[in-house]
Amino acid sequence: MKTGIVIVLVLAGGLAAVLLADGSAARRPEPRSASIELSTDPNDDVSRQSVATFAGGCFWCVEEAFDEVKGVVSTTSGYTGGHTKDPSYDEVTVGDTGHFEAVRVRYDPAVVSYRQLLDAFWRNIDPTDRGGQFCDRGDSYRSAIFYHDPDQKRLAEASRRAIEESRLFQGPIVTEIVAAGEFYPAEEYHQNYYQKNPIRYKFYKWNCGRAARLEELWGEKS
């Protein structure tokens, strides 16, 4: 049974959809807020947090990567960059919405800088892959940095130039840098998926070859 599942995953390039075939994917998405707003109350801890948004393929994996960074307060899987309002997971993976699978990161700038988040981002993606990330193929799995202000844009562009000038990779760096727009949180069963379903998640990640490819690209385990 497991062998059959792996074959379907590889051929379809839709690992998450098959892995959720236990019935959860068939449920209608729970209502989601259109975007995440930060408090402006100076007495509220949230008001002292900053926001960053990244797309690096499967948002389950991107969440896990950023949750390990000291200074990251929370991560939220979702959809952004497209034209469809309040899209569902199925709509995004079909590819007609223009959205990326992305993760919004709330972080404490007194503990971790945006520059450090950029470093964590690059080391968890293949910046030369134009058609997706690892085994997940299609436009919704492309990599991108969504900047929230001019300073984030400047730092993101500088980090991409540094990677291009390092000549670490044979192919061009194709990761996009675009202005952040409306962010739609994904369905609840996607949030913290790696924690809620550790065995299934590890099975998916191993078969996707993500860790092996990152070690090959960056020369270290991820």
| Residues across the chain | 222
Quote the Cα angle for 9-100-192, to 5°. 70
Instruction: Single out the catalytic residue among 58, 61, 135, 208.
Output: 58
SS3 label, residue 64: helix
Q: Say if CB 106 and CB 49 are below 8 A apart.
A: yes
Active site residue 58: yes
- 100-107 and 132-133: which strand pairing? unpaired
In order of 29, 109, 142, the CA distances from 130 in angstroms are 29, 31, 7
Residues serving a catalytic function are 58
